[in-house]
Structure 1
Amino acid sequence: MPEKLIDIKQVPLPNNCPECFSKEGLRLTFKQKIKETNFYKSITADISHELNCTTCNSVIYPVQWTDDIERVFEYQKKAFTPKKASTYIKKALWVIIISSVALLVLMLALVLYLKL
C-alpha cells in the first residue's frame, strides 16, 4: 500500500537560519499523508512538518530551532488547516461491488424460480 506525503501549505519564515544565518531562506512546509491502492484513495489525518533553508539547502531539525523559530512555528501550526480526512472509492471497487450485488440478485432470482 503506497503512502506518500503531499505538501499542503508552504510558509516563508522571517527568521535567521541556524546554519547559514540568512534571513530569507527558511521555508516551513506542512505535509499530509495519503494512502492509495487500486481500490481506494484515502487522505489521512496524519500531518507532518519540515523546515528547510533554500539558501544553504539544508533541513533544519527541531533541535536546531531557536526560540524565535519555535514561536513562529507554533503560530503557523495554529493557523494551519489540513485537508479533511476522507476516503474516495475508485472505479475498480465500484465494479466489484456492483458485480457482487448483481450476482447475488441473479442467484436469488434463480433460487426463487426453481422453488416455484
Structure 2
Amino acid sequence: MLVIAEGLVTYLIETDARKLLQRLTDRLPHGEMIFGILSPPIARFSSLFGYSLWGLADPHQLERWNTRLVLVDDTPPLADYGQIPLRRFRVYWALLNRIPVTRNMIRSLRYRFGSG
C-alpha cells in the first residue's frame, strides 16, 4: 500500500501527525508513506502568517515515534536543480542548494513499514 500525504502532514499539529502515522501503520500490514515536511525555522516563520505548522529537524525522529517506520528517502526539493532548463533559474536554485537552511527548508520523506 502506498500512502501519499503530500500537503497534509505539515498542516497537522504535531500530536495529530503522530496519531495519523500510528493509525496508518496499525491498520495497514505493510506499505510506504510519502509526505512533505518543513524544517523547524520555516514552521516557526509560518506562524507570522497565522499558520500553526510543525517542523521536523531529524527525519529519524519519526522512527523513534513509531518503530514500524523506516526512513527510506529524504529528498530536498532543490535536489534536482540541475534539470531546470533555464540557466538563470538553475543558477539561482544551485546557489540556494548550497545553503543548508534553504536546501532543507522543505523535504519529501519516504518511509516503509511492515513486511512485504
TM-score (norm 2): 0.23
Larger Rg: 1
> Normalization by structure 1: what TM-score?
0.23
Structure with the higher strand share, 1 or 2? 1
Higher helix share: 2
